[in-house]
Amino acid sequence: MDSNTDHNLIIRCREGDEEACRLLLSRYEAYVYRLCLKISGLREDALDYTQEALVKILTGLDNFQLGRPFKPWLRQVTVNVCLNCLRRRAPQTVSLEQPVADGVVLGDTLEGSAEDPADVAEWQDAREVIRQAVSRLLPQQRLVLVMRHQEGLSYEEIAAATDLPLGTVKTYLFRARQQLRRQLAGVYGWEG
């Protein structure tokens, strides 16, 4: 039996095994960072949120129910940390000139034909436009959009992870999609 399963590592962490803690956190650190980056939209914030989330995860392992899957619990802790950080942060305006973090993309799967450089360039341009549009969403809208379309969570799972009412999740998602549609219509000349 593998002694480095999440379950075994969590047990060892609870017993004070520092190596197990290091292994468990290193296994999920990149995932936590990507999620924080998608939610925050800024690398500096994502790094701060990631550190805070990893500390919460490690200190909260005693509260984790061992019979349950670890990743959904870890995701919920991370989302809660991001939400708390976003609530503490004063509202910001987003400059149209400001570069956007690489991880804030809905279209990570967009690809052009590797054989046609023009297709590749077109897809890269489209991804950048989407990045910019997503970065301009309100943090709560960006959060539910990321959780729905990048994490693949259901409305109910998003509501549970964020402690938001189901109707609020649906409203945020509707408004985020509507805002993206308007922004992209302006870029591409579509009917908004």
* pLDDT tens figures, 4-63: 899 999 999 999 999 999 999 999 999 999 999 888 888 898 999 999 999 999 999 999
Residue by residue, DSSP assigns 131-185 as HHHHHTS-HHHHHHHHHHHTS---HHHHHHHHT--HHHHHHHHHHHHHHHHHHHH
Q: What is the DSSP string of 77-135?
A: HHHHHHHHHHHHSPP----TTS---TT--S-TT----TT-HHHHHHHHHHHHHHHHHHH
Q: Are 61 and 70 within 8 A, CB to CB?
A: no
Helix, coil or strand: residue 14: helix
- Whether residue 69 has pLDDT greater than 80: yes
Give the Cα separation of 173 and 145 in Å (integer): 6
Report whether CATH 2.40.160.20 matches the domain 1-90: no
Q: Record the tokens describing residue 172, joined without a space.
A: 């945020």
pLDDT at residue 113 in the model:
45
Give the C-alpha separation, 138 to 15, whole Å: 42
What CATH architecture applies to the domain 95-192?
Answer: Orthogonal Bundle (1.10)
- HSE-up of residue 41 (Cα within 13 Å, Cβ side): 26
| pTM score | 0.63
Which residues of the chain does CATH 1.10.1740.10 include?
1-90
| pLDDT for residue 170 | 93
Q: How confident is the model at residue 188 (pLDDT cuts 50, 70, 90)?
A: low
Residue 60 is encoded by which pair of tokens?
A: 């909260």
CB 25 within 8 A of CB 19: no
Write down the mean pLDDT value for the chain. 80
Q: State the pLDDT at residue 187.
A: 65
pLDDT > 50? residue 160: yes
Output the pLDDT for position 104: 40
In the chain, which residues fall in CATH 1.10.10.10?
Answer: 95-192
What is the spatial distance between Cα 40 and Cα 50, in angstroms, rounded to a whole number? 11
Residue with the bigger pLDDT between 152 and 131: it is 152
